[in-house]
Amino acid sequence: MNGFRRIGKEIDGTPHRGKTKRENRRAASRNSAMMAGIGERRTGKASMSQYDELEDDPGPVVVRRPVYEAGIKLEAEEAAGSGWKSFDAAEAKMDECKAAGKTDEAAFWKEVYDFCMTRESVAADTEVVILEDGETYNWNVGKVERKS
């Protein structure tokens, strides 16, 4: 019998009574593959990342001018060899402000963190739209609008 014995224990909270160790390993591997989002071979379905509609055109990155300037400064420090990723530095500053009870400054650094994370996750040639005071971005038409 292949050197495998039948066991009656639970693996990961799932009862596997009457199955061999090999069958249990296959079941655990199959379950973890499904949880990780790996495509299913038997049904012929591809993994979800192949159907990501945002993959080709994520649209512009829209950011307020002060947030943009702070984020670019952190990226320059990162390029100069500060040892920090720009978003890690922004997150650290956000945490410092929260600990000091400065909620407005913490919210600002949260925006900087979001901007830096977005820049890390989009293509290098993705457009960045910088909003000045009093401007908003209309996502429906893809234009900056100035409030009167």
Q: Is the pTM of this model over 0.85?
A: no
CB atoms within 10 A of CB 89: 23
Task: Please state whether beta strands 19-20 and 135-138 pair in parallel, antiparallel, or not at all (unpaired).
Answer: unpaired
* pLDDT tens readout for residues 74-97: 999 988 887 888 999 999 999 999
pLDDT of residue 125: 87
pLDDT of residue 92: 94
pLDDT at 142 over 60: yes
pLDDT at 33 over 50: no
**What is the rounded end-to-end Cα distance, in angstroms, of the chain?**
81
pLDDT at 39 over 60: no
Average pLDDT of the residues in 45-61: 57
Distance CA 93, CA 100 (A): 11
Domain residues of the chain, as ranges? 6-51, 61-146
Q: Which residues, listed in sequence order, are joined to residue 135 by a DSSP beta bridge?
A: 146
Give residue 57's Cα distance to chain centre: 17
pLDDT of residue 28: 58
pLDDT of residue 51: 46
Alpha carbons within 13 angstroms on the beta-carbon side of residue 21 total 5
Closest to 14 in 3D by CA, of 27, 2, 3: 27
CB neighbours of 131 closer than 8 A, spacing ≥ 6?
62, 63, 64, 65, 137, 144
pLDDT of residue 66: 96
Over pLDDT 90: what percentage of the chain? 42
Helix (H, G, I), strand (E, B) or coil at 144: strand
Specify whether the CB–CB gap between 67 and 75 falls below 8 A: no
pLDDT at 17 over 80: no
Average pLDDT of the residues in 91-115: 95
pLDDT of residue 84: 83
